[in-house]
Structure 1
Amino acid sequence: MLKVDKEKLMSDIKNILLDAEELLKQAANASGERANELREKALAQLKQAKEKAADAQALVVEKGRQAARATEDYVHNHPWQATGIAAGVGILVGLLINRK
C-alpha cells in the first residue's frame, strides 16, 4: 500500500467519523422523526468507516504476507547469509542487553 493511499484512507475514515459525530450531536438536539433520521445517517457513516477500516486491515495483512514470503524465499536461496545475519543480530542484541 502506498503512503499516499494510506494517508487518503486514514483521512477518509477521520472525515466519516467527524461527519457521524456531527450528525449525532444534531440528533441529540433534535426530536422525533428528525432525530431518528440523523441517528440513522450517523449509523450509516459509522458502518462506512468500519468497512474502510476493514479494507485497510486486509491490505496490511496482505502486505505482511508478501513480506513473509519474500523473507522465506531469501532464506531458502541464501541460507548461509541468513544464518550469518541472524547470528550478528543476536550478538548485537546480547551485547546491548548485557551492557550496564
Structure 2
Amino acid sequence: MSSSTDKTQQDPLQAEFKALIEDAEKLLQHAASLAGEQADELRQQIQLNLQRARSTLAENGEAVRQRGDAVRQAGETYVQHNPWQALGIVAGLGLLLGLLLGRR
C-alpha cells in the first residue's frame, strides 16, 4: 500500500486525538472556574470526543490487521510458488546481517 494511503488513513485518527487533547487542556484550564451545568457540558463534550477517538482507533486497527493479513498471505503465496528464490533471499539477508553484526 502506498504511503499516501497510509497518511490519509492516519489523518482522521490524528485529528481525533488532537481534538481530545485540546478538550482535555480546556478542562484543566477551566476546572477551577466551572461549576454546575458548564462543567457537565464540558465533560459531555470530552466524553463524546473520547468515544469518537475509540471508534476511530478500532476502525483503523481493523484496517491495519487486514492489511497485515494480506501481506502475510502474499508472502506465503510467493514462497510457495518460488521456494528457491525465497531461500536465496533469506540466505542473502542472513549473510548480510551476519556481516553487519560481525563488524561490531
Q: TM-score, normalised by structure 2?
A: 0.81
Q: Secondary structure of 1:71's match? A: helix
Pairing 1:5–2:35 present: no
Tell me how far apart the structure 2 counterparts of residues 26 and 37 of structure 1 sit (CA, whole Å): 15
* Higher mean C-alpha deviation, range 88-97 or range 32-41: 32-41
Distance 1:39 1:26 in 2: 13
Matched, 1:71 2:84: no
Residue equivalent to 2:89: 85
Q: 2:51 aligns with which of 37, 47, 53?
A: 47
**Which sections of structure 1, spanning at least 5 residues, go unmatched?**
none
Deviation for aligned residue 1:53: 1.2
Aligned residues: 100
Q: Secondary structure at the match of 2:96?
A: helix
Return 5+ residue gaps in structure 2 as ranges. none
Greater RCO structure (CA 8 Å; 6+ sep): 2
Deviations 1:26-48 (A, max 9, x none): 65131012211211111111111
- Which piece of structure 1 moves more, 57-66 or 29-38? 29-38
Following TM superposition, where does structure 1 have runs of at least 4 consecutive aligned residues deviating by more than 4 angstroms?
A: none
For normalisation by structure 1, the TM-score amounts to 0.84
Q: CA 1:89–1:96 in structure 2 vs 1: closer, same or farther (change >3 Å)?
A: same
RMSD: 2.0
Identity of aligned residues (%): 35
Deviations 1:39-67 (A, max 9, x none): 11111111111111111111111111110
